[in-house]
Each structure stands twice: as structure tokens, then as C-alpha cells.
Amino acid sequence: MSEIIKTEAVVLSKMNYGDTSMIASLFTEDLGRISVIVKGARSPKSKYGRIVDLINHLSVVLYKKESREVQLLSGADTIDHYPEIKNDLNRLKYAYSVAELVKNLLAEHEVNKRIFKGIIRIFNRLNSSAEPSEITFGRFFIFFLKEIGYELQVESCAICRKKDFKTDCFYNFDKGLICGECTKSVANIYTINLELLRYLHCLKYDESIGSFNNLISQRAIIFMENHLKYHVSDFKGISSIKIFNER
């Protein structure tokens, strides 16, 4: 028996199916990540083929059936299609990166309304803010890590709880920050300089980004990728960033 569900959704990806249809991966507010078939989506007359586009924020109506892996989309309306993102390759790169993280790291049907609201908030920022896109994406990335259980610990030494760092410190992907005095008690530590530490703190607490080295935002993203690689063996990095950078 089918159940009619109305919910909000973000389009994470889409692919052609059959002669005229399309299958899309949606992250929904009430059902988590699901796959839907959009029948006739590739027909020139299809209304929904244009609406169900990458990163669009939609209101959707679904025929949901528990025994079916791919649900049927029966209606969709656009809430926002983020025109400024789609007209700027740098903004688009990071919007696609948000979608990629959600698609690859959240289990199917795992409902997380905080992440859903976080996606909408960050897409709105990417679309309208003058803040550099890599900073905006960094804010989402550090929030996302916390939500999926791999929070970055950037407040104090994980061993002695020291907070006032005067020199470069160290990081262990299991424990977090390690001060110079505590390095002998922890293996597998990596140097993290004070500039990167301050920058990550600003991202985590959504503080204004002041005067930092121009490369610090990229270093922060790489650091967070490495943190995630350590905890998730299947994660190989964010391919959207690599693909756009190669263009």
C-alpha cells in the first residue's frame, strides 16, 4: 500500500533512467536520503524535469511504498533554485561538495533535520553572501563533521586541558588537540599551526573570519578531509572540488 508524503527536499544528484525518465537522489526533511523516479522527466514538455535539478530546494509529493527501493515522485514545486550559485563556478563547486558529502556519508533513510536545515542555510549563504565560498563551505564541513559523530576538537589539549597555546601544537585524529608537553603520551600526531587552529575555531563557532593567509581556507578543508579519511575508510576526499579545480 502506498503512502502519500509531502516534504521538503534538496536534490543531491540525478541520472537518466530508461528512455525518458530520471532517477534523483533527494535529501528530504522527513524521510532522510531517498531515491525517486521522475517519470517522463527528460521529455521537453516535462515540468518536473526542469524542477528536479541539482541543489534545488523543493517541496515534493511522493508515493512512498516500503517494499520499493525507489519511490515515485508525483509532484514538485521549487522553493529556491539559487541562481547566484549556478552562475558562479566557485560557488557551484562548493554547493556540489555539500551535496556530495550528504549523499556519500549519510545512510539511506537516516533523518537529520539539523543537517537538512544546515544545507538550506549554507546554500542561502553561498547564494547571497559576499563571504568567500570556501569559507562558507568550511563552516558547513565542520558542522557536518560534528553532526555525523566526528567532531573536530579545537578548544583545548585533550590530555591536560590546556587552552592557551603560544606556539604550534599537534593533532591526533582520535583525541584532538595535543599540546607540546603532552606529545610523549600520544602516538600519530600531526603539527597544526596556530593560524590554522584559530581559523578552525572561527569556522566551528561561526565567528567572523578576520585577516588570515589566503591559503588557510584550503588548508582547513584538506585538514577536515584527512580527519574524515581517518575515521571513514571508504571516504577518499571530495571529488567535486578536484573535478572543478581541474577545469
d(CA 94, CA 73) in angstroms, rounded, equals: 27
> What pLDDT is recorded for position 1?
66
Beta bridge partners of 80: 57
Give the closest residue to 33 by CA, choosing from 138, 139, 148: 148
Average pLDDT over residues 51-66: 95
Model confidence at 62: pLDDT above 70: yes
Confidence of residue 241 (pLDDT cuts 50, 70, 90): very high
- Residue 191 phi/psi, 5-degree rounding, is -70, 135
Model confidence at 98: pLDDT above 80: yes
Confidence of residue 55 (pLDDT cuts 50, 70, 90): very high
Buried/exposed 143-174: b ≥16 CB within 10 Å, e otherwise? bbbeebebebbbeebbbeebeebeeebbbbbe
Q: Do 51 and 35 meet the contact criterion of CB atoms below 8 Å apart?
A: no
Q: Where does 3-80 sit in CATH, by number?
A: 2.40.50.140
More confident residue, 190 or 213: 190
Residue-wise pLDDT for 106-119, tens only, equals: 999 999 999 999 99
Confidence of residue 46 (pLDDT cuts 50, 70, 90): confident
Beta bridge partners of 35: 25, 70
List the domain boundaries for the chain: 3-80, 151-231
Question: Please, what is the average pLDDT of the chain?
Answer: 94
d(CA 143, CA 177) in angstroms, rounded, equals: 18
Model confidence at 149: pLDDT above 70: yes
Predicted TM-score (pTM) of the model is: 0.95
Confidence of residue 54 (pLDDT cuts 50, 70, 90): very high
Model confidence at 213: pLDDT above 90: no
Give the closest residue to 24 by CA, choosing from 49, 61, 43, 5: 49
